[in-house]
Structure 1
Amino acid sequence: MEAKLFTPYTIKDVTMKNRIVMAPMCMYSSHNEDGMVQNWHRIHYASRAAGQVGLIIQEATAVTAQGRISPRDLGIWDDEHIDGLKELTTLIKEHGTKAGIQLAHAGRKAVLEGEIIAPSAIPFDEKSKTPKEMTYEDIQVTIEAFKKGAERAKKAGFDVIELHGAHGYLINEFLSPLSNKRTDEYGGSMENRYRFLRETIEAVKTVWDGPLFVRVSANDYHQEGLAVDDYVIMSKWMKEQGVDFIDVSSGAVVPARINIFPGYQVPLAEKIKHGANIPTGAVGLITTGIQAEEILQNDRADLIFLARVLLRDPYWARTAAKELGVAIETPTQYERGWI
């Protein structure tokens, strides 16, 4: 049986050479709070591309300075960011890897000086700053910032855009009733809580016609929060809007105890894939080629998103290929050691 992990995968006009995706992981490595690309980013991302990852999705990249998770996050809120991001996409693509970017706004989880904003004036926890409840104007300005971020991503040469709708950041805060207590058209019913994401997708799609992913937290792990069945419904709405792919994670909109184990989030990706009839990515404690192959062979997800294991092993693709008995391409410079 052919190892599906190493077969190509196409979304729209973008074909990845395999099903291995580097999940977005913040590096907190920009200097001077300016959001600029540094040498660390150049080395970090190019190393995983040389290691034969099929798609690299760059870390959460802030669409406004106020929307950074930390003062050292990468940014895409200014045209001055484009040149550095273009360097990254060029380095990544030199190795035949596709380049993606996660557009993000931290909302109430921003750890910054000054005012932070969120759907409702509710802090994440007792140690967190209380955000300002967003006005209608704040909402429109932020949606426009996502659109401008998508324009800059296109100019920087990214193949894929992912909207960060997970892990308790701004989009997720609008979606969840635990963090959205609004009584206007952006709160209350699920349709209203989805409105911010709906309008963000609409705005982004006016400037971006390439593959569009959305990352979701498909379980709030709270009895009054959202669960995967809710995300099946919203994933159907996203598909109707032209979203191509759902990257399925979970948790972090409120503090919660999560029982984690290898592949613990895969059933969420599987449920959304088949319930909404949309391609999904599985992520979370996937560490071996055999584990990844089981997910793909049993049609539980379409792509394998790897995070911490790729921090430990930039050449995980080679490790997995050896495990599965597959010969894969290697950088010519490394052939004598790629055994």
Structure 2
Amino acid sequence: MTDALTSWRLGSLEVPNRVLMGSMHTGFERDGERLAAFYTERVRGGAGLIVTGGYAVEERGRSVPDDIVLGDPALDPPLRRSVEAVHAAGGLIAVQLFHAGRYSAGLPDADGVPVPPVAPSPVAWRAARGVVPVQMSEADIAETLRNYARAGAHAEELGYDAIEISASEGYLINAFCSPLTNLRQDAWGGDSHRRRRFAREVVSAVRAATGLPLIARISGDDLMTGSSTRQDVLALAEEVVAAGADAVSVGVGWHESPVPTVQFSVPHGAWLSVDERVAAHLPGTPVIGSNRICSLAEARRALESTRLAAVALARPFLADPDVVAGAVAGRTVIPCIGCNEECIDHSMRGLPISCLVNPRAGREGRMPLATALQPRRLAVVGAGPAGLVGALDAIRRGHRVTLFEADPEVGGQLRLAGLVSGKSDYLAAARALARRFVELGGDLVLGRRIGLEELAGFDAALLATGVRPRRVEIDTDGSCTVLGYGEALEMAAGRGGSESQPSGSGPGARTELGDLLVIGGGGVAVDVAATLAPRSGRMTLIRRGSRRFAAGTSPSTRWIGLGELRTSGAQMWNNARLVRVRRAVATVEVRVPSTPSGEAGAGQARPSRVDEVVERRDVPVDTLVIAVGSEPRVLTGSLSIPHRTVGGARDAGGLNAARSTREALEAVRDLVG
């Protein structure tokens, strides 16, 4: 049984504990001070070893525009600054050597010339938008191996403590190993052993170039039908160790895998059996597990129940840098909710990363936690995500804060999201934010609807009163139950209705929903429908516009709820509106393209305009759920003290919790410093 807080050996390096901060591309690697401040907080928060984001070993290995190439002279000063900051804080840092392979977007080089992606074979992936990678020649392979070696040597020059080689998640090395993406019949492909040759050669090249401890991160399971077998994976693990790796880190899945790997819907610790399979096969070699291990308690359980030497937590260190030290000290730690909105989604778009529940992430230098020189009395109205984050930031810096919430429980829309299937971490995060606020001396007042006139005695106020569901008129004879989306989620969770949701006949004593009609096509509508699907019969979703269902939501999680709906057989109709409900039958009008009138004659162009016709469709409905968006919940009256309105209370259009928490943080800094 291994204690997470004991030290262990990574080659020549003694690592002080067994909880690593896994690799995350930040998007601000070019800013040494910003990167230094970001890493320093994580060292102080207890990360035994920090692994940087993936730094490309050559120009054609970059994935998104803000990726960097290790060895670019212009980047040496900021990278060296971040290394020095980690060491000054008493920490250790490893650099990840990376090559995107076919996952590169074909980025322009320094001269603006597009660099086509390279791969073992010209096999594009489904999101490549027609870009087919160039098959690497013998000369290309030799050059890339030299670049891996050069990058390894340069990492040692910059002062890094260790190196991790990214050979997982479908990137170049992993692509060489898989029969799906390596179709070669030469010395670099044709059978499993030859497909693994590139991985062996990369590790050997880096090992020959530097004496730094070396981690090889492999894919424990590609989660791709027809890809590497379990035996292939275990053989690769053996071979990278024989080639010079001091430890093996285990990842899982590709970008194109049809199975979620790190999203909110994945149970905590879901991939430990994959990690353990590799660890059991490599006795005497440290193996590092990862993916959906979200807290120190979970890290401890993972280490106690497996032969892993260490575990890597990535996004939990975004949600709360204090994930280890805070837990050891008995403080409440804010959990990662697996939303991906400000981290993975930002990274995929070439934007700096941050965190929905901790918008200071990535802004530590600009927003330090220094104690306020002049403590102020701050009132925060609304304990949804914006109010909770704003109140916690103010109390952490010594201000006197009272947080008012009209409902008997904190969370607002974050609480409702926590009732969605697979999203219980959202509710856990809201409660953790509130507990941490109270631990620091904040005054939390629940179940009290505050008036603006009652805030006059404070120095400033943050108004984060959130949203209420948008109301729509329904022409119904009362033959079906009409619910707001909040009421529907409450009922699915076994609770009563909510005052804040529009109601028709109310849920009554119903426990099953029968045939379900959902009005709305945004992310909330899809979440609600996916949650209710197991409780319903026939399900239909309708939206007025032509946008895709759940458009505008996280690209890395949107497909999960939609997949659940398709599996359940749900109908999803665009350009549709409810006309009326009579005798438990909904009449819906749907605009559909009609066949172009007339045929083009000889020498005539075909008609370019496609007319639309309106179809009337009858749908059985026992329960109708309204999920057509939200509108601000505002307080009436005037307020003489400095104040700011944030989040949905300011603007419910395109409501986004990440935007709300970011606004709250910035507003609190403006209001009370």
Tell whether the structures are fold-level matches, with TM greater than 0.5: yes
% identity of equivalent residues:
27
Which stretch of structure 1 is more off in the superposition, 50-59 or 252-261? Answer: 252-261
Q: Which amino acid aligns with 1:22?
A: M
Aligned 8 A contact 2:269 2:302 in 1: no
Task: Give the match for residue 65 of structure 2.
Answer: 71
1:165-220 deviation digits (Å, cap 9, x = unpaired)? 01111111111111111111111111111111111111111121221101111112
Q: Kindly tell me the number of residue pairs found equivalent between the two proteins.
A: 325
Q: Distance in 2 between matches of 1:12 and 1:218?
A: 22
Higher relative contact order (CA 8 A, sep 6+): 1
Describe the shift of the 1:254–1:184 C-alpha distance in structure 2 as closer, same or farther (beyond 3 A). Answer: farther
Task: Give the match for residue 144 of structure 2.
Answer: 142
Aligned 8 A contact 2:99 2:172 in 1: yes
* 1:225-304 matches, cutoff 5 A: 225-252=227-254, 254-258=256-260, 260-277=266-283, 278-304=285-311
Q: Distance in 1 between matches of 2:290 and 2:255?
A: 17
Aligned 8 A contact 1:218 1:227 in 2: no
Structure showing greater radius of gyration is 2
Aligned 8 A contact 2:170 2:222 in 1: no
- Offset, 1:255: 3.4
SS of the residue corresponding to residue 206 of structure 1 reads helix
Which stretch of structure 1 is more off in the superposition, 142-151 or 236-245? Answer: 236-245
Which stretch of structure 1 is more off in the superposition, 183-192 or 251-260? Answer: 251-260
- Offset, 1:126: 4.9
Whose helix proportion is higher, 1 or 2? 1
Aligned 8 A contact 2:222 2:257 in 1: no
Q: Which amino acid aligns with 2:289?
A: A
Task: Give the match for residue 12 of structure 1.
Answer: 11
Determine whether 1:307 maps to 2:314: yes
Describe the shift of the 1:253–1:198 C-alpha distance in structure 2 as closer, same or farther (beyond 3 A). Answer: farther
Aligned 8 A contact 1:125 1:255 in 2: no
Task: Give the match for residue 41 of structure 1.
Answer: 35
Q: Which amino acid aligns with 1:142?
A: T
SS of the residue corresponding to residue 67 of structure 2 reads coil
SS of the residue corresponding to residue 7 of structure 1 reads coil
- Offset, 1:38: 4.1
- Offset, 1:238: 1.5
1:2-61 deviation digits (Å, cap 9, x = unpaired)? x8111111222211111110100111235xxxxx34433222212211222110000000
1:267-303 deviation digits (Å, cap 9, x = unpaired)? 1111111113232111111112221111112333111
Aligned 8 A contact 1:76 1:152 in 2: yes
Q: Distance in 2 between matches of 1:227 and 1:56?
A: 31
Q: Distance in 2 between matches of 1:270 and 1:305?
A: 14
1:69-109 deviation digits (Å, cap 9, x = unpaired)? 11101320324433322111110111221110000011110
Describe the shift of the 1:143–1:183 C-alpha distance in structure 2 as closer, same or farther (beyond 3 A). Answer: same
Aligned 8 A contact 2:173 2:199 in 1: yes
5+ unaligned residues in a row in structure 2: which ranges? 109-113, 332-369, 372-397, 399-438, 441-673
SS of the residue corresponding to residue 255 of structure 1 reads coil
5+ unaligned residues in a row in structure 1: which ranges? 31-35, 325-332
Q: Distance in 1 between matches of 2:191 and 2:39?
A: 40
TM-score between the two structures when normalised by the length of structure 2: 0.46
Q: Which amino acid aligns with 2:178?
A: S
- Offset, 1:316: 0.6
SS of the residue corresponding to residue 319 of structure 1 reads helix
Q: Which amino acid aligns with 2:126?
A: D
SS of the residue corresponding to residue 187 of structure 2 reads coil
SS of the residue corresponding to residue 4 of structure 2 reads helix
Q: Distance in 1 between matches of 2:100 and 2:82?
A: 23
